Amino acid sequence: MRSMCIGMLALAVMTGCGEQIDKKPTAPVKGVVTYQGKPLETGEVIFFPDSGEQIAHGKIQSDGTFELTTYEDGDGAFPGTHKVTIISERDMEGVSAEDPEAGLEPSYIPMKYNMQNTSGLTAVVKEGDNEIKFDLE
Q: Residue 77 is part of which domain span?
A: 25-92+100-136
Cα separation of 15 and 27, whole Å? Answer: 20
SS3 labels along 86-120? EECECCCCCCCCCCHHHHCCCECCCHHHHCHHHHC
Cα separation of 129 and 116, whole Å? Answer: 24
For 119-135, write each residue's pLDDT tens digit: 999 999 999 999 999 99
Residue 122: inside a domain: yes
Q: How many domains does the chain have?
A: 1
Instruction: Output the domain CATH number for residue 122.
Output: 2.60.40.10
Cα separation of 57 and 9, whole Å? Answer: 9
Q: Where are the beta strands (DSSP E) in the chain?
A: 29-35, 38-39, 44-49, 56-59, 65-67, 80-87, 121-125, 130-136
For 74-121, write each residue's pLDDT tens digit: 999 999 999 999 999 876 566 556 666 555 667 999 999 999 999 999
Cα separation of 67 and 58, whole Å? Answer: 5
**Entry pTM:** 0.79
Residue 50: inside a domain: yes
Cα separation of 119 and 113, whole Å? Answer: 4
Residue 4: inside a domain: no
CA of residue 79 relative to chain centroid, distance: 17
Residue 2: inside a domain: no
Cα separation of 28 and 127, whole Å? Answer: 8
For 6-47, write each residue's pLDDT tens digit: 444 444 444 445 555 678 999 999 999 999 999 999 999 999
CA of residue 130 relative to chain centroid, distance: 16
